[in-house]
Chain A
Amino acid sequence: MVKVYSTPWCPYCEMAKKFLEKHSVQFEDIDVAQDEQKLQEMVKISGQMGVPVIDIDGKIMIGFNQGKLEELLDLSANQWQTKQFA
């Protein structure tokens, strides 16, 4: 189960959600600006209060790092070849 703790105007939250949608990953979008209880939950699991926080089956990612998210979701194997444009 993937959960995205986000706020409505946060561009990194938007990027994370778009990325998950693009890869057909189902997720629960939690607007912590509206839900105080979920905000406390986010602070508890991440130990901080910045968004986005992405919970992938208990693995917590703070902020949006596409490469790390791909790894956590095991989306691609040959991702990290060095690119050389010659």
Chain B
Amino acid sequence: MVPVLIIGVSASGCSAAIYCSRRGIQPLLVGVDFGGEMALSGEVGNYPGFGTTNGIELVRKFSNHIKAYDIEPELGVRITSLRQVENGFAAQGWKWSPEHVVSYEAKAIIIATGTRPRELGVPGEKEFRGKGLSYCTVCDGPLFKNKITVTIGGGNSANESGLMLADITSHAYVITKNQAMKGDTLLIERLKNHPKATIVTNAFTTKIIGADFISAVEYKDATSGEIKTIDAQGVFVHIGMLANTDFVMPELERAPQGEIIADSLCKTNIPGIFAAGDVTNFPYRQLGIASGQGIAAALSCVDYLNKLQ
């Protein structure tokens, strides 16, 4: 049984790992990939001390930082269940594919599994995934040079997606069900003023249309009630995120949308389980906050382990 298992290898998980290690407790760090949503961030200009950086660069820096503490994350690991056992917890899952089962036992757990993109749930979404529909603008956006794209969403991710696509494509639409875009004023203004971007508000996406690949997006104009379409070859979905908490035990308290309820010390309702970063019910999902919560979770966890002895 290891002292602490940290699940999730991004800002909060790596920060927690560094702090555990500095307190003399070498953690076991596992996760699906390195960087999660942080890696997909594209340009990052709000992480203090870094000026302008990007997701890939941050992954590199986090990776080098944990290596300096002899922490080698185990990647490809998807935890599928977590339960209490005598003197601690047992986590089970698989590595790279479901037939390769892995299991771990730890005295304490730090959950830092972050979030995944929310899906639209409209006809055509599943069929055209990878055939023009993507949840990653920084990955697949560059494939739509001189084509028309539609970003679906009303917050900062949609703003960033629309701006990036407006620079690459012949025209980038951003459609939102809201009356106006939300998020950073700076980004919204840049998007509004971009000559190759159009924001469509009060637009409820109803269908993704195409044959082999996408050819259009259909939406309902909530103002007029009309069904309208935009001809497009690419669709990028940025309608929010869902917390990755499907694997936790039912006794662990979660908010209605699935986020783990953690206090200011990153403690959950189960002693020995801590949660940090985007997976928690903290209202702001930011890289700096995730790092800070990772640190708080590690310090609380070390305190917990010390009291066990």
A positions within 8 Å CB-CB of B: 7-15, 32-33, 36, 39, 48-51, 62, 65-68, 80, 82-86
Contact = CB atoms under 8 A, between A and B. Distances in A.
Given A9-B54, A11-B39, A86-B1, A67 B140 contact: no
Given A83-B103, A84-B103, A85-B28, A13 B139 contact: yes
Contacts of A86: 1, 105
B35 A11 contact: yes
A82 B102 contact: yes
A15 B33 contact: yes
Nearest to A65: B96
Contact of A8 (B55, B96, B142): B142
B45 interface: no
B101 interface: yes
Nearest to A84: B103
B96 A67 contact: yes
B288 interface: no
B134 interface: yes
Contacts of B39: 11
Interface residues of B, number: 39
B97 interface: yes
A14 B56 contact: yes
Nearest to B54: A9
Contact of A67 (B100, B106, B141, B213): B100
B138 A10 contact: yes
Contacts of A8: 142
24 contacts: A9-B56, A9-B138, A10-B140, A11-B55, A11-B59, A12-B33, A14-B59, A33-B143, A49-B213, A50-B134, A50-B140, A51-B139, A65-B96, A65-B97, A66-B75, A66-B76, A67-B76, A68-B97, A80-B99, A82-B101, A82-B102, A85-B28, A85-B103, A85-B106
Contacts, number: 90
A33 B46 CA distance: 27
Nearest to B58: A11
A51 B104 contact: no
Contacts of B28: 85
A83 B56 CA distance: 29
B59 A85 contact: no
B116 interface: no
Contacts of A32: 142-143
- Could you say which of A13, A15, A48, A85 has the most chain B C-beta atoms within 10 Å of its C-beta? A85
B104 A85 contact: yes
Contact of A33 (B105, B136, B145): B145
A57 to B, nearest CB: 21
A62 B1 CA distance: 37
B2 interface: yes
Given A48-B131, A49-B132, 12 more contacts: A10-B136, A10-B140, A14-B56, A50-B130, A66-B76, A66-B96, A67-B97, A68-B96, A68-B97, A84-B103, A85-B28, A85-B103
Contacts of A83: 95, 102-104
B71 interface: no
